[in-house]
Structure 1
Amino acid sequence: MSMFDLSQSAADALFKWSNVVAIVGAVLAAIGAYGSFWTGNIRDRYSDERISKNEADTASARKTAAVANESAAKASENVAKANERTELLRQSNLEVQRQLEKERLERLRLEASIAPRRLSEQQRWSLVSSLQSAPQPLAAQITLLGDEEAGGYEKAIWGTLNAAKVQVAAEMAGIMSPPPYGVQLTLQKGNPRSAAIKSAFESAHIPITTSYGEIGKLDARILIGLRPLGVAR
């Protein structure tokens, strides 16, 4: 069939419909282009909003992290300061304890320095044992001053010498100036019994001072003087 086989009326009708279709298509195309442009802008706006929100969230998260880091740094600084204060307090407590211990020892030393002299059981036993092992018989004389503290110490030594079977005589001394201090032994040179008495006192850790002189038939003359200053026994 030839393209000219349509009647004029059919061709006119088809032409009209073709123009209508073309116009409708153009309108639809315009609508589609506008709709695409319009909705594209809307999508871009939402996209921009999402990006802005993400950026805001990221900035907020970074700010929160910065605040958290700052808080952690401050907390670490506070912990360090607290540890420093604790160490200073510990050192202060140690110093207080050292000072208290020093004062306690000084108080004990002072109390011991003014306490009456005594012979301990160990000293008594040592003195008796040493004297009993010495050459026999032993003879000694104890000189008393009349001082109360010295008198108590003299009784302890006298009793220990008696327990060791030493022949002991006693005499009361008059006023002596300057007054003697401590336990003073006067011994006879070359006398083994004198040497044994001296050794017995030393073995018992009884503080003594010794001198040598004429003491007759005695092996030792023992003078119980005043308590030496700062000495406990």
Structure 2
Amino acid sequence: MPRPPLPPPPPPAEIQAWPDRGALLADRARAMRELGRRALGVPAAVGFWLYALLLVIGWGCVGVALQSFAEGMFPEVLVGVVFLVLGIGAIVPAAILLGLGVRRDRVIRERLRAWGELGPDPAVDAELRAPVRSLAWLLPSFVLAALGLWTSLGWSARALPGEDTYAEAAYFIGMGCVLWLVGLLGVLKAVRHYRWALRSAHTPTGAES
């Protein structure tokens, strides 16, 4: 089932036609609450971590393929081809979906800023800062990014010439980079929302400079 579209940005100033300030604030609150939910809510988190898991599984399949190719025998090579196809089939859609999520987050931030520029609404703005949800994104993402760095750099430091293969190097360093990149995306999402919330708390219009 396709997702419902994001709330649109407010109309340009020259065609705004709210009957009074209360109607404007009501529309502002509805739009910003929905944008905030779409940015940091449970559906966004579930989608993000499912795509991340798919990316990790895909790279795991690629690692099995690399190990199989290193054996150099026909049965292992055939198994490697199968796992390579499975890995690419998981990595490509996961990467595309994560990229679309990054673009959607940028649109959400722009629309939050546009609605915020219509004027302050302290109760709604305080609700949208969502410190608990921001922290729920930040902490696991930071742990995942740290795990990725430890996986790639730690393996590189322990690798021994003549004992560890190029296939192992590609697998562990690549897996570390995947974990680090996914964790970094989550950290940036939480930090950007926190910056917007912090600026809206100290700017009369709620705008993000």
Q: Work out whether the TM-score is over 0.5.
A: no
TM-score by length of 1: 0.21
Higher helix share: 2
Higher RCO (CA 8 Å, separation ≥ 6 residues)? 2
Larger radius of gyration between Structure 1 and Structure 2: 1
